[in-house]
A = this chain, B = another copy of it.
Amino acid sequence: MKRDSRLSSVLHALLHMAERGEPMTSETLAACMCTNPVVVRRTMGLLRDAGLVASARGPSGGWQIVADLNAVSLRDLYDALGEPTVFAIGNRHEAPQCLVEQAVNAALDDAFADAEALLLDRLGKITLARLSADFNRRHAAHRSRA
């Protein structure tokens, strides 16, 4: 399958929106992210449903962040996106009859569940504010080099 890149996408969009301040249209965001406005609306719509951003129609409409950057973690975004499947590796049958397969799946599920828990925990500790600060550091470094 194609990999799900929505988390990376919305983060990119959110940081651009945070830098900006005023609403950005899905067309602008799409151009910025090399994708399609409808994809942006679909994806950002999920964040709106979670109360993280707001959308407005008509002229001077667009998308804007409404949440506190310090209060939103990457885990919150992951949840807002519907908790997408984390692993590209899985069991052939989810509830097999075969005892051999049950033993195999139990062992694998265990390891994968732990790895997923760690991942989500890590995502929960990174806020948008921290990412924004990280960007500004990079930006400053970039300008001082030029």
Residues of A within 8 A of B (CB): 1-5, 7-9, 11-12, 15-16, 19, 33-34, 74, 84-93, 98-108, 110-112, 114-116, 118-119, 122-123, 126, 131, 134-135, 138-139, 142
Contacts and interface: CB of A to CB of B under 8 A. Distances in A.
A110 B98 CA distance: 38
A4 B135 CA distance: 35
A99 B135 contact: yes
Given A89-B84, A92-B33, A122-B114, A103 B15 contact: yes
Report how many copies the assembly holds.
2
A33 to B, nearest CB: 7
A15 B69 CA distance: 50
Contacts of A5: 89-92
A98 to B, nearest CB: 7
A88 B91 contact: no
Contacts of A123: 111
B87 A104 contact: no
A3 B101 contact: no
